[in-house]
Structure 1
Amino acid sequence: MATMEEQNRYFVPAPSRWPMVGALALFCIGLGAALAVNGMLFGKLSLALGAAILVYMLIGWFGDVVRESRGGSYLGWEDMSFRWGMGWFIFSEVMFFGAFFGALFWVRTVSVPELGSMDYKMLYPDFEASWPLATGPGITEAYRAMEAWGLPAINTMILLTSGATVTWAHWGLLADKRDQFKLGLLVTVLLGCTFLSLQAYEYGHAFSHLHLTLASGAYGMTFFMLTGFHGLHVLLGSIILFVVWLRSLSGHFDVKHHFAFEAASWYWHFVDVVWLLLFVFVYWL
């Protein structure tokens, strides 16, 4: 039991090398990206090196945090800081997706009707003020929109189910049912991987059968930007939950101390909500 003095103090970690390692990783990634787009071989090597250093930094830095947590360094104030930090991080993600949804709504409700009310035949022939646009400058092959009631609907059910399984895992942890906790986590990770596999298949179908790409006008751009970034977040969330599951196998987390799992579940529920909005406004309407 921590004393009152310990509860009121704030843990300050020792100076760390990890920020410097992270800066080196980002430098290599930025340099590699700049060189790779110009077709230089060293660019790809620099990208790979930067990615490897970044993974090394993440494992090392989070490893230090886990050891500090397991050693009892984090008490009330630290826990509050972690919760505020995760809350603001999710808020920044809300703003991130809000910008893309804003672009989608602007194109559909403002730009397209405005163009349709004027004579823009001089820009390119056969313009129609409809969504999704199937014509445009530089579009040489007609494309089709993605249907909602197929793989997207199945993926929606998968993500909704994963939200239920991660909640079931949380209930198991709060009830000190370790097997339920670990099983719920594992099922959630598997459902996330299934979602990503089906989305990859959907993208292949879009490219080969619907001729839908990033170059397919405003519809193709908004479709792939929104669903692609969401898929990236599902991948990140699955990795986080997988790491939490590995930690659960080592006996980490108990009824009172499990914020790492809570943060991961908050993030996963955020991913679920974003997908529901995507399904309604990108696929369905």
Structure 2
Amino acid sequence: MSTQGAYYIPHKATWPIAATIGLMTLLAGFANYLNGNAAGSTFMLIGLSIFIIMIGGWFTLQATESETGMYNKGVGISYRMAMMWFIFSEIMFFAVFFGTLWYTRNLSVDWLASVGDGPGRSSGMLWPSFESVWPTNGPGNVGGEYEPMGAFGLPLLNTLILLTSGVTCTWAHHGLIEKNRSQLIKGLAATVILGFIFVAFQAIEYQEAYHEMGLTLGSGIYGSTFFMLTGFHGFHVCVGAIILTVVLFRSSKGHFTPENHFAFEAAAWYWHFVDVVWLGLFIFVYMM
């Protein structure tokens, strides 16, 4: 336990092990699902369930320690630094995917179509009829026929939903600072609802893409980059909504004060990061 002059040393924790098991099961199930294994979807659900239980359990442990006064100022600073580095790692994570999209659209497609001169350009003999256009399903029409996803409709609606959720999250924060518990809970509830609506609409969008537009993970480089970027972002939205649900539950129990509410701040930072990433996705994936 921390004191004024001592630093809190965490006890042995098993929740990180549960997180690893859940994520590995989820990813293994997803890989098997993509390869047509009937058990893949079952393992995905098991992995997701373990992950959700882990989040609830780990957050409960942290809440108990925080509310019983086990953390001092030094621990609070380390928490904030850890969250900043975590979000920075997430920024780098998505930067790699945006870089992949840029490299493909601005370099690889031109090289394969023999546009311009210089190293890396194809001679035009491999795919003489390939054109430098985007979206593309690759040389030789390897991705089959599909319809690109437009920016209007569900994508635009989801953009408005996510931006609105950022406003409600900020409104909830102001309620906490002003000791308005009702505003805090209402703002958090609205943010959580909007977050899960976003995920539901993205699921509908995916269903439409697969069954009506012919757009799948196998639709060449356009299909793979589209689902890679939007899929990982959707996963982050889902995680963020779960985290905010835990914060909402704690708020309803009377937790957090204007002086001590790092858990809320961390969730809000993460949610605003998700908002900003989606704006980039909407512009560079859907509109361009």
Q: TM-score band, normalised by the shorter chain?
A: 0.7 to 0.9
Equivalent position of 1:111 in the other structure: 108
**1:195/1:51 Cα in 2 relative to 1: closer, same or farther (>3 Å)?**
closer
Match of 2:193 among 169, 190, 193: 190
Deviates more, 1:32-41 or 1:253-262: 32-41
Matched with 1:7 is 4
Matches within 5 A, 1:169-180: 169-180=172-183
Contact 2:217-2:224 at 8 Å conserved across structures: yes
- Are 1:168 and 2:171 counterparts? yes
Q: Does residue 1:245 correspond to 2:242, yes or no?
A: no
Counterpart of 2:258 (choices 255, 258, 281) is: 255
Contact 2:162 2:198 in 1 (8 A): yes
Match of 2:150 among 147, 150, 174: 147
Indicate the residue corresponding to 2:269 in structure 1: 266
Q: Is the 8 A contact 1:135 1:142 kept in 2?
A: no
Output one character per residue of 1:139-186: Cα deviation in whole Å (capped at 9) or x when no partner. Answer: 363112111122111111111111111000000110001100100000
For 1:213 and 1:35, how far apart are their aligned partners in 2?
16
Counterparts of 1:8 and 1:104, CA distance in 2:
50
Counterparts of residues 119-138 of structure 1 (less than 5 Å): 122-124=125-127, 126-137=129-140
* Kept in 2: contact 1:7–1:77 (CA 8 A): no
The answer to whether residue 59 in structure 2 is matched with residue 62 in structure 1 is yes
Counterpart residue type for residue 183 of structure 1 = K
Conserved? CA contact 1:230–1:275, under 8 Å: yes
**How large is the RMSD of aligned CA atoms in angstroms?**
2.8
What is the TM-score when the length of structure 1 is the normalising length? 0.87
Map of 2:98 onto structure 1: 101
Cα distance, 1:269 vs. partner? 0.3
Aligned to 2:218: 215
- The reply on whether 1:83 has 2:83 as its aligned counterpart is no
Partner of 1:73: 70
The answer on whether the counterparts of 2:130 and 2:140 sit within 8 Å (CA) in structure 1 is no
8 Å Cα contact 1:25-1:50 kept in structure 2: yes
TM-score after normalising by structure 2: 0.86
The alpha-carbon deviation at position 135 of structure 1 amounts to 5.0
Q: Which moved more, 1:109-118 or 1:44-53?
A: 44-53
Closer/same/farther in 2, CA of residues 213 and 257 from structure 1, 3 Å limit? same
Q: What is the identity, as a one-letter code, of the residue corresponding to 1:160?
A: L
What corresponds to 2:118 in structure 1?
A: none
CA 1:190–1:179 in structure 2 vs 1: closer, same or farther (change >3 Å)? same
Change (3 A) 1:90 1:111: same
The one-letter code sitting in structure 1 at the alignment partner of 2:96 is A
Could you tell me which of 193, 198, 203 is aligned with 1:200? 203
Kept in 2: contact 1:126–1:135 (CA 8 A)? no
Once residues 113 and 141 of structure 2 are traced to their aligned partners in structure 1, the CA distance between those partners, rounded to angstroms, is 19
- Of stretches 16-25 and 273-282 in structure 1, the one that deviates more from structure 2 is 16-25
Does the C-alpha gap of structure 1 residues 122 and 63 become closer, same or farther in structure 2, counting only changes over 3 Å?
A: same
Counterpart of 1:7 in 2: which secondary structure? coil
Deviation by residue 1:42-75 (Cα, 9 ceiling, x = unmatched) = x887776665555444433332211110100112
Q: Distance in 1 between matches of 2:197 and 2:24?
A: 34
Quote how far apart the aligned CAs of 1:88 are: 0.6
**Aligned counterparts of 1:31 and 1:197: Cα–Cα separation in 2:** 23
